[in-house]
Amino acid sequence: MNTIPEIYSRFSRLIYEHSGLTFNTINMSVLQSRLNEQLRKRNGITLEDYYKLVTSSQSEMKDLLAVVTTNLTKFFRNQAQYDTLKNYILPNIVEHKKTTRARPFIRMWSAGCSTGEEVYTNAMCLREWLPSDYSFEVVGTDLNPENLQIAKKGIYSKDRVEEIPPAMVSKYFILRDNQYEVNLLLREGIRFEYHNLNDPVYPNNFDIIFCRNVLIYFDEQARVRVTRNFYNALSDLGYLVIGHSESLFGLDTPFKFIRTQWSSLYGKP
């Protein structure tokens, strides 16, 4: 019979194989807590029985990946990075498209979008900061189907929208039953999809990719693989924005490090 530590290690390896997410001695307690939640939902079955269930059912595996992913998100998280978007990224992309006579269109990807706050924030910023002749698409992806359902509904409590400037709340949200619902104007140009960053196939032709506070859950090998896929998913002169405490330093990736007066980011030459 498996000891408890050994079975947790098996779950950790299984999750890594299917998602690239890493659980070690530092964050193993998170995995243990999430697994215990799953056992309670299934009338207290044993860890061994749950392991057999997960390894024999694709839907159960998908459900496990959903519950072990982090859900921490908010509107306009890390304002300095949005200052960089406004004052550095967008002006450079617009100038490049003007010089190359490219279509006035920007495609943006929010990878690991959780419950959608980042996607709607990005869409508000593009609507407010792009020239009037520009159109855009913001794609939000996550491996948690429940998160994606919440994101698609676009309904948030009052405390969730407190970080949004009041003028934007009035312009892009409808107050209903003491909750704020994203209006039709803001929904235009937004798409939510399921995507696992561990999958080899990535969407492409993006001008900007936001993947913040996700790479910290991958080991070095997975970070290299994911960032190389991001590089290939970007158009020429595209930009990658990761979490302000994250770094690609020391990783074998083709990205160019860029430091601005607001925050740092990575570019595709």
Q: pLDDT 10s per residue in the chain (269 long)?
A: 455 578 899 999 999 998 888 887 767 888 888 899 899 988 878 999 999 999 999 999 988 988 887 667 899 999 999 999 999 999 999 999 999 999 999 999 999 999 999 999 999 999 999 999 999 999 999 999 999 999 999 999 999 999 999 999 999 999 999 999 999 999 999 999 999 999 999 999 999 999 998 998 888 999 999 999 999 999 999 999 999 989 999 999 999 999 999 999 999 98
The candidate with the shortest Cα–Cα distance to 35, out of 3, 14, 64, 4, is 64
Q: What is the CATH number of the domain that holds 28?
A: 1.10.155
Q: Mark which of 27, 47, 68 sits at the end of a domain.
A: 68
What distance in Å separates the CA atoms of residue 70 and residue 205, rounded to the nearest whole number?
27
Provide CB contacts within 8 A for 18, sequence distance 6+: 61, 65, 196, 198
Residues 159 and 45 both lie in one domain: no
CB atoms within 10 A of CB 112: 23
User: In this predicted model, what pLDDT tens digit does every residue of 134-152 receive, in sequence order?
Assistant: 999 999 999 999 999 999 9
What range defines the domain where residue 25 resides?
Answer: 4-68
- 244 occurs within a structural domain: yes
187 and 255 housed in the same domain: yes
Handedness of CA 149, 151, 153, 156 (dihedral sign): positive
Decide if 246 contacts 81 (C-beta within 8 A).
no
Does residue 61 sit in the same domain as residue 135? Answer: no
Residues 15 and 144 in one domain: no
My answer on whether 154 and 111 are in the same domain is yes
- Predicted TM-score (pTM) of the model is 0.87
Taking only the tens place, the pLDDT of each residue in 161-176 is 999 999 999 999 999 9
CA distance 238 to 240: 7
Is residue 99 in some structural domain? yes
